[in-house]
Amino acid sequence: MINLSYNHFFTLSIVIFIIGCFGLFLNRRNMILILMCIEIILLAANINFVSASVFLNDINGQVFSIFILTIAAAEAAIGLAILVIYFRNKGEIDITQINQLKD
């Protein structure tokens, strides 16, 4: 009989975080995937905050989790707006075509 403790949730959160990070790195297709991986990372942070607050009997974690939510939504909106404009200018959002950072 395993008692559910904070460590399990923390492990879960780290795993989700790593999946999100490596999704960023293994992405060779389009830019939407970048924004989605960012959302996954933020989700991991959220899980960490909430579970910590539950297991430590402190409500501040959940409050902060709501703020994170807010920011995530705002950032997703702006990110998608930029993506739309980029598509308008370039005609495609293939990530292997944006290497102008090199020059």
Chain residues 61-80 in contact with other proteins, contact rule CB under 8 A: 62-63, 65-67, 69-78, 80
Tokens of 101: 């950072």
For the CB of residue 21, give the shortest distance to other proteins in the complex, in Å: 6
102 near other proteins, rule: CB under 8 A: yes
Helix, strand, coil percent values for the chain (each to nearest 5): 75, 0, 20
* Binding flags for other proteins, 4-43, as an x/- string (CB under 8 A): x--xxxxxx-xxx-xxxxxxxxxxxxx-xxxxxx-xx--x
Q: Which of residues 40-59 bind other proteins (CB under 8 A)?
A: 40, 43, 46-47, 50-51, 53-59
> Which of 42, 6, 45, 37 lies closest to 20, judged by CA?
37
d(CA 91, CA 85): 10
